[in-house]
């Protein structure tokens, strides 16, 4: 797991893992979500990769665009 930089200071995201066409997002509440090209679309996954690596905007993007489009949750 990569630690999310949280440059905005108010994200619920604490970490992430990037894969080809996938991202796993780890949240402060202990839940983890897998988003895939198939579940959220390749453009959204590409944007989530960019935001995760930039350390800013990932939580907001998830809330606005892909909130329920995850493949699995644990």
pLDDT at 23: 99
Domain count, the chain: 1
pTM of the model: 0.96
Per-residue pLDDT tens listing for the chain (74 residues): 999 999 999 999 999 999 999 999 999 999 999 999 999 999 999 999 999 999 999 999 999 999 999 999 99
Which domain covers residue 16, as residue numbers? 2-73
**Predicted pLDDT at 25:** 98
Q: How far apart are alpha carbons 47 and 57 in whole angstroms? A: 10
Amino acid 58: pLDDT = 98
């Amino acid at each position: 797991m990569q630690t999310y930089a949280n440059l905005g200071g108010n994200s619920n995201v604490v970490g992430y893992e990037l894969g080809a066409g996938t991202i796993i997002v780890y949240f402060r509440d202990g839940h983890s979500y897998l988003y895939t090209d198939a579940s959220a679309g390749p453009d959204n996954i590409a944007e989530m990769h960019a935001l995760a690596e930039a350390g800013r905007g990932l939580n907001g993007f998830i809330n606005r665009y892909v909130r329920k489009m995850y493949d699995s949750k644990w």
